């Protein structure tokens, strides 16, 4: 049966190894080439043979490829292999021309950021995905029992209908062990695997997102279906061995409906909870903004609009004050403490993080997050609230946070 109801997870499943950017000038690159020439290491074939290991099972360089050389980020040794024309053109379009040194022997010496990028993905393939160690017979190709040592697959777990019509993923992760039942189309040489990773990394950020890069949504659905069918087949085989055909049939029939009946309220509740969280964050933000305005107006309550005063209305300091009264320094400090304490509690309720832990990350974590990754609406609300708090910290208006940076 075709899977018609599903919830797929997304996230980074593979990432390039961290590589130091080495920027060499033209003179240094020319000197390297001359040293190679004197040592008989001119040309693609000679440089490939000088590799410390085989990058494929043939020294024949495929047509329509570009031979490049870069440094292994882990060992520091030079590596020479072929990149597809498509991948090489993509690199040239993204990186500086100074990152590509055209040697007289036809090999392109990678440099700077381009070398760090290619070397990083090479490191991931060779070491994290374990292609280098898996090649136990050192013939350049992973085969037979060697494949069991690869970590180049995607792991997915969740709940599924026993008729294969529905699936809810609960967790995904990369670097799972190779499984011949599902991974028969995986590349079996370091050279091929590296080309696949560069080809899949569409924005050249050194990360592969599960959906859109590692695989399309339709490919993900197809792959999940294959795994579910394999699991169902295993369960049916076990059921037949134990004589529980009737039980298996009873579980299969109607299970999708039962699953959907459970899932629908869950999703509706999650949406409702998001709205409640968003409203709570908006209220916390308004109270912080009102507090900042009150500080700027030296505690003059008359400067606040009815909405701004309402945002502070739950405070014992403001509750019994008239609209035209002015708060003194001690009252302002007490009000600020109440507002900050309430805001922290709101953030704790929304995120599930203990208040004392939030106090430690207020001035650091969100400043260091990946700004290239798009924020969700809830992230934006959360960030705006914390930015408001951090504004108070920067202005030295909040003693509550002064010892936590």
Q: What is the pLDDT of residues 100-128, one digit of tens each?
A: 999 999 999 999 999 999 999 999 999 99
Determine the distance from the C-alpha atom of residue 142 to the mean position of all C-alpha atoms in its chain, rounded to a whole number: 28
Share of the chain above pLDDT 90, in %: 43
What is the pLDDT at residue 366?
38
- Measured between alpha carbons, how far is residue 56 from residues 60, 135, 145, 147 in Å? 9, 10, 18, 15
For the purposes of burial, counting CB atoms within 10 Å of the CB of 166, is it exposed (0-12), middle (13-18) or buried (19 or more)? buried
> Strands 108-110 and 207-209: what pairing?
unpaired
What is the pLDDT at residue 159?
74
The average pLDDT across 182-192 equals 92
Give the containing element (helix H, strand E) for 330: helix 329-351
pLDDT digits (tens, 9 = 90+) for 357-373: 655 555 444 344 444 44
Does residue 86 surpass a pLDDT of 70?
A: yes
Q: Please indicate, yes or no, if residue 259 is contained in any of the structural domains.
A: no
What is the pLDDT at residue 62?
84
Does residue 375 surpass a pLDDT of 50?
A: no
Statement to judge: residues 249 and 303 lie in one domain: no
> Could you say which of 215, 232, 253 is where a domain stops?
253
Of 7-21, 166-180, 380-394, give the range with the top mean pLDDT.
7-21
Q: Please indicate, yes or no, if residue 402 is contained in any of the structural domains.
A: no
Q: Against a cut of 0.75, is the pTM above it? A: no
- Band (pLDDT 50/70/90 cuts) for residue 168 is confident
Statement to judge: residues 11 and 48 lie in one domain: yes
Tokens of 77: 């040794």
Statement to judge: residues 291 and 179 lie in one domain: no
Cα separation, 305 vs 289, whole angstroms: 12
Does residue 67 surpass a pLDDT of 80?
A: yes
Cα separation, 19 vs 12, whole angstroms: 18
Cα separation, 234 vs 86, whole angstroms: 42
Determine the distance from the C-alpha atom of residue 284 to the mean position of all C-alpha atoms in its chain, rounded to a whole number: 29
Statement to judge: residues 136 and 84 lie in one domain: yes
Where is pLDDT greater, at 64 or 31? 31
Where is pLDDT greater, at 106 or 278? 106
Cα separation, 339 vs 241, whole angstroms: 65
Statement to judge: residues 121 and 152 lie in one domain: yes
Statement to judge: residues 214 and 283 lie in one domain: no
Which domain covers residue 210, as residue numbers?
1-253
**CA-based R_g, the chain, Å:** 30
């Amino acid at each position: 049966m075709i899977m018609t109801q599903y919830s797929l997870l997304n996230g980074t499943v593979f990432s390039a190894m961290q590589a130091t950017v080495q920027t060499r000038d033209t003179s240094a690159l020319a000197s390297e080439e001359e040293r190679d020439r004197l040592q008989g290491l001119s040309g693609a074939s000679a440089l490939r043979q000088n590799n410390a290991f085989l990058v494929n099972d043939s020294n024949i360089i495929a047509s329509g490829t570009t031979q490049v050389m870069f440094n292994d980020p882990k060992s520091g040794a030079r590596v020479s292999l072929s990149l597809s024309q498509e991948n090489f053109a993509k690199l040239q379009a993204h990186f500086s021309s100074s990152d590509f040194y055209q040697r007289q022997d036809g090999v392109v010496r990678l440099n700077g950021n381009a070398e760090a990028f290619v070397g990083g993905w090479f490191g991931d393939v060779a070491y994290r995905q374990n292609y280098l160690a898996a090649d136990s017979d050192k013939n350049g190709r992973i085969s037979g029992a060697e494949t069991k040592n690869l970590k180049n697959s995607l792991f997915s777990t969740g709940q599924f209908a026993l008729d294969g019509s529905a699936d809810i993923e609960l967790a995904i992760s990369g670097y799972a062990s190779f499984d011949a039942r599902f991974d028969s189309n995986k590349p079996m040489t370091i050279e091929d695997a590296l080309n696949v990773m560069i080809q899949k990394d569409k924005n050249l950020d050194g990360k592969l997102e599960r959906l859109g890069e590692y695989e399309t949504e339709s490919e993900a659905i197809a792959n999940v279906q294959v795994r579910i069918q394999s699991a169902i087949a295993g369960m049916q085989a076990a059921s037949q061995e134990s004589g529980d055909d009737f039980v298996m049939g009873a579980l299969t029939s109607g299970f999708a409906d039962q699953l959907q009946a459970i899932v629908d309220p869950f999703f509706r509740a999650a949406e409702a909870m998001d709205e409640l969280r968003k409203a709570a964050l908006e209220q916390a933000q308004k109270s912080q903004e009102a507090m900042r305005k009150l500080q700027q107006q030296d505690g003059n309550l008359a400067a606040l609009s009815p909405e701004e005063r309402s945002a502070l209305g739950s405070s014992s300091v403001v509750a019994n004050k008239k609209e035209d009264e002015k708060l003194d320094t001690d009252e302002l400090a007490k009000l600020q403490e109440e507002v900050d304490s309430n805001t922290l509690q709101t953030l704790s309720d929304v995120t599930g993080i203990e208040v004392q832990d939030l106090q430690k990350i207020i001035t650091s974590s969100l400043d260091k997050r990946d700004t290239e990754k798009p924020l969700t609406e809830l992230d934006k609300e959360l960030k705006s609230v914390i930015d408001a708090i951090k504004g108070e910290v920067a202005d030295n208006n909040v003693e509550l946070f002064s010892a936590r940076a």
